[in-house]
Amino acid sequence: MASISENKQNQSKTEASETERWASLLGGSAMVLMGLSQRSLRGVLMAVAGGGLIYQGATKQSTLQQAQQAIGMTQQAIKVEKTVTIDKQADELYRFWHDFENLPRFMKHLKSVKVYDAKRSHWIATAPLGGSVEWDAEILEDRENAFISWASVEGADIDNSGFVRFKSAPGNRGTEVKVVIEYFPPGGALTATFAKLFGEEPEQQIGDDLRRFKMLMEAGEIATTEGQPRGK
């Protein structure tokens, strides 16, 4: 026979479960209403997240914490690594990349980069559904003709960091350019999933950026999909 203490513990767990369920229902409803009232990417994500919480609460399938994990609201870093070989010397590639204001010329997701000084810069990038995100970044390490690393500073719309490494390719074939970028999408994995649905897969995006960088540095221009060059 269960003891009085065990019965009280079971009752407490049931009450806690009911509290979490109602928190999911009420919180989810509020998120849906707030999200639908905002005509923005964040509003859409908020509404979808709220719908997920309502579903979890209504079906009693999980706790509030598990519901957040199920709909991708937990913070999880996305890391992308890509390498390309370019038939140019490392010093030329380094100089071009080091001027961050050049990056939007081949990084399609970047609207603009404004360099403040030798360390700091301001970045504006596109987001799914026509939105945009902004952040200030600071250079962390700078080795001439070899390596540049950077990271966003406090207050960024999207926390991110990355580095680019320039290394002589085997067989005198130019320079291997390796890029590693890590970021925390706003809204967690849910935002990343939305990005993929809208054709903005991070690995493909960075790979395409590096292919455009290669074309720009080797040919002095980037061929568009229509076959017309640009970027001189």
Q: Based on the domain organization, do 42 and 142 belong to the same domain?
A: no
CA–chain centroid gap for 164, Å, is: 17
Q: Based on the domain organization, do 56 and 92 belong to the same domain?
A: no
SS3 231: coil
Q: Based on the domain organization, do 42 and 88 belong to the same domain?
A: no
SS3 201: coil
Express each pLDDT in 35-56 by its tens digit: 556 555 455 555 555 555 555 5
For every one of its 232 residues, what pLDDT tens digit does the chain have, with 9 covering 90 and above? 455 455 444 444 444 466 665 565 555 566 556 655 655 545 555 555 555 555 555 555 544 444 444 444 445 678 899 999 999 999 999 999 999 999 999 999 899 999 999 999 999 988 766 678 899 999 999 999 999 999 999 998 888 999 999 999 999 999 999 999 998 765 555 455 445 444 457 788 899 999 999 999 999 998 876 444 455 4
Domain that holds residue 18: 4-70
Does the reported pTM lie above 0.85? no
Q: Based on the domain organization, do 168 and 223 belong to the same domain?
A: yes
Alpha-carbon span 100 to 115, nearest angstrom: 7
Q: Based on the domain organization, do 169 and 200 belong to the same domain?
A: yes
